[in-house]
Amino acid sequence: MSDHVLLVHGDLLTKERLDTVGNSRRIEMTPKNRLQYVVFLPGFFHYKMACADALWRIYLQPKEGRDDENSLFQSVRYLRPDETKKMVTKPGFRHMHEVIHHDLQASMLDCWRLEAQSQNREWTTLELFTASKPSWDTIVSISHTIVEKYVARTDTLDHTHEKPKEQWDRHFENQVLRNRDRSLYVDLCQAMNAGDIGRVEASFLPWIYLFKATGKHKYTIQILHFLTNLRYNYPIELRNIIRMNLLCNPMGKPLSFCPVDWLVERNNLYTKVIFAGTGPNRTINHIIKQSPLIEVYRNCHVTVENTFHLTHCTIRHAQPDMTKTIQRLASRVKEKHSHMFKPGQSAMCSIPDQVAAGMTLMQERKVSMADEAETDDIEPEDLID
């Protein structure tokens, strides 16, 4: 075992337990006895849930921002009119995940309408734009323009805030900040589905700042620690091994990659819930005995479904058709002129740039830690890693 490593996927609780065990064995003589061969990898499914929760804390949790006509809560009234109360209390991951995707789609439709019209005044609607069969170069060019104009950047906002307040547009700033944060989340989801681990790794830094600004300090520390090890501390061979094992593709199909911890949670669902027994039979001993037969039970179910032509009728459901809902939401964005910059325009609530706020907090924390290091005495145990 001294020549090998053991990769452990899990959530932050798993990480804390591994740290507890490792700290209790720091006095051992060999790396094997110190459990240094155990390498923790953050579960990307839990990481994605943390990202969705961070956006909820920014855009839905604050009460003062819900009445603003350009807030995410107003979009929820269109996307989930029967669940507005649930969305502002503590929605599940799936609810927040779908709201982010659908709201961004509506905003991007309005951005494409504006940019298509700016290039050709005859393209007053997206239907006319698509009917003209634009070239791929035109589509790429408009895409870059949309990112430049309608997705916030910290340096651009800082430059704007250096001007007099009469030249600010809080309404437009709220919208472009939402576009940026939602785009970061959707890009992360697409990168995971495609198995593009490079894009997933590139997403760590902005999300570390967002975690810090929204009070998710444990995720800030653990993701930063993992990123530092992956970039600088681990040997090159181990870095490649870790990158190739952060995602898996059980189906072997394109765009079907999933985090390993999601697969573990799925197996736990079958082991502890579906095939765990009922009534007095639902005991730990029964679950342990049945756990090796989980795949056998699932294969039996699949065989019966295929025999009776019930393919995908019991375990998979078609995605809801949100076309009309998103079109209605896009029409509302158009009516509110959310992507039109007007100097002096105000908003009921001004959303701060949480990436810049998190960056400031990280720098303050770094300075305070440096001050503490200058005043505190260093013990020999502090040098043991």
pLDDT 10s digits, 117-145: 998 888 888 999 999 999 999 999 999 99
Residue 296 belongs to some domain of the structure = no
Amino acid letter for position 140: V
Q: So what's the pLDDT on residue 346?
A: 85
Number of domains forming the structure of the chain: 2
Strand partners, 247: 259
Which pairs with CB-CB distance under 8 Å and at least 24 residues apart come from 66-75?
67/348, 67/349, 68/174, 68/347, 68/348, 68/349, 69/336, 69/348, 70/171, 70/174, 70/175, 70/336, 70/338, 70/347, 71/174, 71/349, 72/99, 72/103, 72/178, 74/332, 75/99, 75/103, 75/106, 75/329
Same domain? For 58 and 110 the reply is yes
Residue 153 belongs to some domain of the structure = yes
The residues of the chain scoring below 70 in pLDDT are 1-2, 310-317, 366-385
Same domain? For 123 and 242 the reply is yes
Alpha-carbon distance of 89 to 77, in angstroms, equals: 15
pTM of the model: 0.86
Residue 71 belongs to some domain of the structure = yes
- Residue 6: phi and psi, rounded to 5, are -115, 115
Same domain? For 36 and 86 the reply is no
Residue 235 belongs to some domain of the structure = yes
Alpha-carbon distance of 171 to 154, in angstroms, equals: 17
Q: So what's the pLDDT on residue 164?
A: 87
Same domain? For 82 and 100 the reply is yes
Greatest pairwise CA separation for the chain in angstroms: 76
Same domain? For 64 and 30 the reply is no
Same domain? For 60 and 70 the reply is yes
Same domain? For 51 and 19 the reply is no
Same domain? For 71 and 178 the reply is yes
Same domain? For 141 and 223 the reply is yes
Q: So what's the pLDDT on residue 12?
A: 87
Residue 77 belongs to some domain of the structure = yes
Same domain? For 229 and 355 the reply is yes
Quote the domain boundaries for residue 49.
43-253+332-366
Q: So what's the pLDDT on residue 384?
A: 33
Same domain? For 38 and 143 the reply is no
Neighbour count for residue 264 (Cβ, 10 Å): 16
Residue 97 belongs to some domain of the structure = yes
Exposed/middle/buried for residue 355 (C-beta within 10 Å: 0-12, 13-18, 19+): buried
- Please report how many Cα atoms fall inside a 13 Å half-sphere around the Cα of residue 280, on the Cβ side: 0
Best CA proximity match to 346, nearest among 104, 168, 188: 168
Residue 156 belongs to some domain of the structure = yes
pLDDT, tens only, 267-295: 888 888 888 878 888 888 888 888 888 87
Same domain? For 37 and 105 the reply is no
Residue 1 belongs to some domain of the structure = yes
Q: So what's the pLDDT on residue 370?
A: 47
